[in-house]
Amino acid sequence: MMRILVVDDVPVVRMVIARLLKRAGHTVIEANDGREAVRVFEGAAVDVLVTDVWMPGTGGLDLIRSAVRRLPGLAIVAMSGGTPQATMTNSLAEAEAAGACVVVMKPIDKDELLAAVVEAVRRTRKEQP
């Protein structure tokens, strides 16, 4: 299966997503923000990044841009429930523009999450020379 980095600043959300992915047979690494996620990139191989868009500190958009530069070919799934300043649709459009392969709205269910991971990997592999 795949090594998936899950990044979300809300511990319970991160835990639920990680648990779903682990039950599907994936190895999961967790990070609570973009800065911690970058440290993971420097020390571990990751196949897929699943990240929230809006987080304090180094947020998801900055993380996605950094991941695209550092790890070309990384499958990236962005998720958002929006914020008072940005609608869910705008948030996901920004994530896609930053380099996310697949974007999903929160709350997401198990099947949607698993399908998003598979689709992100499929799209990434399709783009590889």
Q: Is 17 left (phi over 0), alpha (psi -120 to 50) or beta?
A: alpha
Looking at the structure of the chain, the number of domains it has is: 1
**CATH number for the domain harbouring residue 63:** 3.40.50.2300
Q: Give residue 50's identity as a one-letter amino acid code.
A: V
Instruction: Give the closest residue to 4 by CA, choosing from 102, 18, 13.
Output: 18
Q: Which residues span the domain enclosing 93?
A: 3-127
- Residue identified by tokens 């420097």 is 42
**Tell me: the pLDDT tens digits for 87-116?**
566 777 889 999 999 999 888 899 999 999
Spatial separation of the C-alpha atoms in residues 86 and 73, rounded to whole Å: 28
pTM: 0.92
Instruction: Give the closest residue to 62 by CA, choosing from 95, 13, 101, 28.
Output: 95
**Tell me: the pLDDT tens digits for 59-82?**
899 999 999 999 988 999 999 875
Instruction: Give the closest residue to 92 by CA, choosing from 59, 49, 52, 37.
Output: 52
